[in-house]
């Protein structure tokens, strides 16, 4: 058992001692790739989404120097037809790239270090493989001596590129030569599994390591069940640990794929259970600092887009041109695509849109926009804070003026009167609501659906808000609709003050002259 060659099953054994969610079905996917042209797999996931746990699991399963039958007994993979065929049958090379960083002068000597330490351990295990200074030749001789191929596992494969961009060319060249899926090197590996935050770096328009099958946060495909925790898995964890599932869903759900409609951040779920506290656990990573850097970039339309996202609006994005690194940005879409890979945005492949997935990430956005040094962003924050203040203090003319400003600035003439555009106007105007409120949309209430409700957060003395925007009718008519259809019924159980906010405008007036009116009325609860 070595550090890089055949590290054993101790890492996965430690994982199993915790509240483990069975993700061993992933092994079946890797097993089915062995001996095929699909045997090279690259899985990219955000920080704290279980990448290292999966790598340790694969090491324990394939490493031939240990017997892991007891560890996998009763887990999903043990019932698969491929289980016995591949369990503990291979020499495993395992690299945790963040772990080797201190020994490589911050990745400046990453390739020589990898070749040196792996060669040393391979020759210790198979002395007859010596006689060549060429790395792949040594591995080929060791494979022949052992009578089996290698399984290569690289955790955080992209760390050198993310943290030391100048080593990119040498590092990618090394990987390209090692995993060229033809010729002599094709004999080396039964399978390779590499995982990181970013997909494989692009060389022009193509992936630099072109033989890898890629499964990312944009297209996880068959690996979608292993991106994070599924709703069934989270519900079972909540029942087992007597935790409020509804709150868990609000805080950590929100990633959606065609194959799995509801995916949760696994690290945050586990920490919420362990700590008995719902909070944003992303603040424990350096990703929060990165978010501030990216959303403050001066690309056209980015400030407005961030405001829309925080307000709960889904926005279009084209992820195709992203270079899969942290430095090459051509515009707004590249920033949004990076935020998808970092886990800050959830991507819907069917609609081609992104959104902030859950309460945890909204808190991070809210914190970040209040620290960026960007004039337009600061102005939006001030205006949003002001309209909230004006609303709760009954300043009807000021509220109407700000809604009118947002409506004219942020909505194209073509979509000015669309219902979804009107809802977006409200979200944009009140987009700092997260400091004070929970936002509820399309909530069944009384005899209809309340478009947007703002429910004060626990401990807040702010009133709840029921907002209705109408055209070609008076603001009083909007208030009357709220009352007639009993929208405040959606807030039953809430004991605080409720304000009804009706806003109207003349849709037939010329552009620039569509004056908005506002009526704010305290809801009188029936005794």
What burial class does residue 309 get, using C-beta atoms within 10 Å of its C-beta: 0-12 exposed, 13-18 middle, 19+ buried? Answer: buried
**Distance between CA atoms of 487 and 345, rounded to whole angstroms?**
31
Q: Which residues of the chain have pLDDT under 50?
A: 205, 285-288, 413-416
Find residue 429's DSSP bridge partners.
none
Q: Are 193 and 56 contacting, i.e. CB atoms less than 8 angstroms apart? A: no
Q: pTM (2 decimals)?
A: 0.82
Q: What Cα–Cα distance (Å) separates residue 143 from each residue in 90, 120, 125, 263?
A: 10, 15, 11, 40
pLDDT at 206: 54
Domain spans of the chain, in order of start: 10-215, 217-372, 375-522
Q: How far apart are the first and last CA of the chain?
A: 74
Name the strands in the sheet holding 315-316, side by side, starting at the edge strand that comes first in the sequence: 315-316, 353-355, 346-348
What burial class does residue 513 get, using C-beta atoms within 10 Å of its C-beta: 0-12 exposed, 13-18 middle, 19+ buried? Answer: exposed
The SS3 of residue 484 is helix
Residue 134 CB: number of other CB atoms within 10 A?
10
Q: Are 464 and 494 contacting, i.e. CB atoms less than 8 angstroms apart? A: yes
Domain 10-215 fold: Rossmann fold (3.40.50)
**Distance between CA atoms of 81 and 402, rounded to whole angstroms?**
64
pLDDT at 288: 45
Beta-strand (E) ranges in 184-330?
189-196, 202-203, 206-207, 213-215, 229-230, 263-264, 315-316
* Helix (H) or strand (E) run with residue 468 in it: strand 464-471
pLDDT at 365: 86
Q: Which residues contact 390 (CB under 8 A, 6 or more apart)?
A: 398, 399, 402
Residue 241 CB: number of other CB atoms within 10 A?
13
**Distance between CA atoms of 412 and 290, rounded to whole angstroms?**
32
Residue 484 CB: number of other CB atoms within 10 A?
12
């Amino acid at each position: 058992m070595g550090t890089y060659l055949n590290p054993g099953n101790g890492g996965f054994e430690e994982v199993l001692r915790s509240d483990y969610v069975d993700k061993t079905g992933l092994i079946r996917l890797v097993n089915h790739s062995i001996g095929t042209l699909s045997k090279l797999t690259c899985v990219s996931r955000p920080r704290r989404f279980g990448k290292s746990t999966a790598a340790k699991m694969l090491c324990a399963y394939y490493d031939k120097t240990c017997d892991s039958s007891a560890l996998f007994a009763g887990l999903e993979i043990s019932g698969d037809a491929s289980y016995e065929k591949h369990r503990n049958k291979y020499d495993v090379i395992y690299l945790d790239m963040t772990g080797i960083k201190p020994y490589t002068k911050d990745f400046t000597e990453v390739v020589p270090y990898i070749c040196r330490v792996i060669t040393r351990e391979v020759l210790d295990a198979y002395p007859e493989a010596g006689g060549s200074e060429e790395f792949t030749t040594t591995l080929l001789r060791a494979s022949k001596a052992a009578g089996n191929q290698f399984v290569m596992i690289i955790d955080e494969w992209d760390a050198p590129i993310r943290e030391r961009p100048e080593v990119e060319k040498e590092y990618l060249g090394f990987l390209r030569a090692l995993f060229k899926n033809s010729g002599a090197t094709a004999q080396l590996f039964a399978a390779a599994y590499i995982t990181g935050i970013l997909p494989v770096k692009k060389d022009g328009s193509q992936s630099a390591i072109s033989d890898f099958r890629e499964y990312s946060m944009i297209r996880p495909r068959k690996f979608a069940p292993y991106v994070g925790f599924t709703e069934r898995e989270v519900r079972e964890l909540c029942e087992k640990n007597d935790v409020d599932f509804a709150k868990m869903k609000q805080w950590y759900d929100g990633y959606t794929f065609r194959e799995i409609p509801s995916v949760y951040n696994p690290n945050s779920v586990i920490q919420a259970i362990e700590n008995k506290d719902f909070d944003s656990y992303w603040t424990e990573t350096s990703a929060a600092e990165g978010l501030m850097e990216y959303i403050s970039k001066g690309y056209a339309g980015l400030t407005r887009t961030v405001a829309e996202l925080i307000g709960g609006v889904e926005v279009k994005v084209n992820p195709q041109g992203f270079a899969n690194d942290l430095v090459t940005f051509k515009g707004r879409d590249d920033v949004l695509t990076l935020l998808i890979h970092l886990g800050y945005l959830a991507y819907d492949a069917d609609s081609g849109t992104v959104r902030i997935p859950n309460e945890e990430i909204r808190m991070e956005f809210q914190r970040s926009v209040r620290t960026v040094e960007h004039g337009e962003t600061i102005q939006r924050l001030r205006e949003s804070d002001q309209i909230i203040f004006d609303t709760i203090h009954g300043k009807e003319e000021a509220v109407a003026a700000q809604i009118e400003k947002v409506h004219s600035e942020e909505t194209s003439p073509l979509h000015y009167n669309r219902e979804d555009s009107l809802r977006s106007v409200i979200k944009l105007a009140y987009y700092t609501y997260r400091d004070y409120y929970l936002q509820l949309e399309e909530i069944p209430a009384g005899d209809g659906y309340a478009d947007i409700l703002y429910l004060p957060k626990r401990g807040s003395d702010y009133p709840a808000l029921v907002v209705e925007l109408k055209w070609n009718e008076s603001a009083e008519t909007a208030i009357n609709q709220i009352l007639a259809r009993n929208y405040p019924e959606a807030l039953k159980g809430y004991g605080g003050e409720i304000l009804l906010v009706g806003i109207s405008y003349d849709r037939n007036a010329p552009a620039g002259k569509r004056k908005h009116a506002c009526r704010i009325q305290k809801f009188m609860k029936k005794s």
